[in-house]
């Protein structure tokens, strides 16, 4: 069914204003887009591990969520929602619950790529019917911008500093979306906050999936990426156009690009406005830029082959 903006604006926001997330934060945009895709007449239970989203939306005694919310420890949000979903199925089987529920995890990249990876993989492998959303800002932003498994090669963070003996993070990012797809679950997608129609379409498919579903959504962070706060959507768009963050989905094993790139822009156009990459534009670091461009080109070529493009 087509998504109309005039209908979306009439929907009740399930993440309310008044939370303490930064102005220009990509995470809140991602959450609102996903929640707009919830089917009608269902109850939603969400779980969020410690992170920017959790600490900024549930400051005691306030709560910005209009759906049931569980705060878990950093490492076990996926395990928590697995238990809740299992209890729901058991109670429904016994006839003690008749309503329809959906279960969601909103985790950052640190809580998903690294600390919570074991629980994340377990949820997918066991086949719980839950939607796992990673709002991916490519570092541990809540605790002071430390590198995560999602941080790009060459990026500055407080634990991957640049200097005479280092040019930033020395490893390429982990490909979590492909790892999730390798679990052979019904639905996996990579999305970005600038393309709301694409993200909501994918979220609808995720909620309809008869089993686990994963949405890995790029959610730029102006504090950690060092760009002006009003440019969050522009950063997201540049990431897709440069193919460092292509948009695609894997539906029942079939890979498909959801945003065609007619002319790929140079990676430098995406990196130049971001302070986390500023050191790479100084003399002597040109090789790092070339290595990252080479990695992105290889990944893009492989993805096009997987999508039969």
Domain-embedded: residue 7: no
Q: The domain spanning residue 252 has which CATH number?
A: 3.40.50.970
Domain-embedded: residue 4: no
What's the 3-state SS for the chain? CCCCHHHHCCCCCCECCCCCCCCCCHHHHHHHHHHCCCCCCCEEEEEEECCHHHHHHCCCCCCCECCEEEEECCCCHHHHHHHHHHHHHHHHHCCCCCCCEEEEEEEEHHHHHHCCHHHHHHHHHHCCCCEEEEEECCCECCCCCECCCCCCCCCCECCECEECCEECCCCCCCCHHHHHHCCCCCEEEEEECCCHHHHHHHHHHHHHCCCCEEEEEECCCHHHHCCCHHHHHHHHHHHHHCCCCCCEEEECCEEEECCCCCCCCCHHHHHCCCHHHHHHHCCCCHHHHHHHHHHHHHHHHHHHHHCCC
Domain-embedded: residue 217: yes
pTM higher than the cut 0.85: yes
**Mean residue pLDDT across the chain:** 96
Domain-embedded: residue 3: no
Domain-embedded: residue 122: yes
Domain-embedded: residue 43: yes
Domain-embedded: residue 220: yes
Domain-embedded: residue 281: yes
pLDDT in tens, the chain (309 residues): 688 888 899 999 999 999 999 999 999 999 999 999 999 999 999 999 999 999 999 999 999 999 999 999 999 999 999 999 999 999 999 999 999 999 999 999 999 999 999 999 999 999 999 999 999 999 999 999 999 999 999 999 999 999 988 999 999 999 999 999 999 999 999 999 999 999 999 999 999 999 999 999 999 999 999 999 999 999 999 999 999 999 999 999 999 999 999 999 999 999 999 999 999 999 989 899 999 999 999 999 999 999 987
Residue 181 is part of which domain span?
Answer: 12-307
Domain count, the chain: 1
């Amino acid at each position: 069914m087509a998504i109309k903006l005039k209908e979306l604006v009439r929907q009740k926001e399930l993440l309310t204003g008044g939370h303490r997330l930064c102005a220009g934060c990509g995470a809140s945009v991602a959450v609102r887009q996903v929640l707009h895709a919830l089917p009608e007449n269902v109850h939603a239970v969400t779980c969020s591990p410690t992170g920017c989203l959790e600490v900024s939306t549930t400051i005691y005694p306030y709560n910005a969520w209009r759906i049931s919310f569980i705060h878990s420890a950093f490492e076990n949000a996926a395990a928590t929602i697995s238990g809740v979903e299992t209890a729901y199925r058991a109670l429904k089987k016994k006839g003690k619950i008749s309503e329809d529920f959906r279960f969601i995890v909103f985790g950052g990249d640190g809580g998903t790529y690294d600390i919570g990876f074991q629980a994340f993989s377990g949820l997918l492998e066991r086949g719980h019917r839950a939607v796992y959303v990673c709002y991916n800002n490519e570092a541990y932003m809540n605790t002071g911008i430390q590198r995560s498994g999602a941080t790009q090669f060459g990026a500055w963070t407080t634990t991957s500093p640049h200097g005479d003996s280092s040019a930033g993070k020395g490893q390429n990012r982990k490909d979590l979306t492909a790892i999730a797809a390798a679990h052979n679950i019904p639905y996996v997608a990579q999305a970005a906050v600038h393309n709301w129609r694409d993200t909501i379409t994918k979220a609808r498919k995720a909620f309809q999936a008869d089993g686990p579903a994963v949405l890995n959504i790029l959610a730029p962070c102006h504090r950690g990426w060092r760009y002006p706060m009003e440019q969050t959507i522009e950063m997201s768009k540049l990431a897709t156009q440069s193919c460092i963050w292509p948009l695609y989905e894997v539906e029942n094993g079939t890979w498909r690009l959801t945003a065609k790139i007619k002319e790929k822009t140079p990676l430098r156009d995406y990196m130049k406005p971001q302070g986390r990459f500023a050191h790479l534009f100084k003399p002597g670091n040109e090789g790092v830029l070339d290595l990252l461009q080479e990695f992105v080109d290889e990944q893009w070529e492989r993805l096009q082959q997987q999508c039969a493009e």
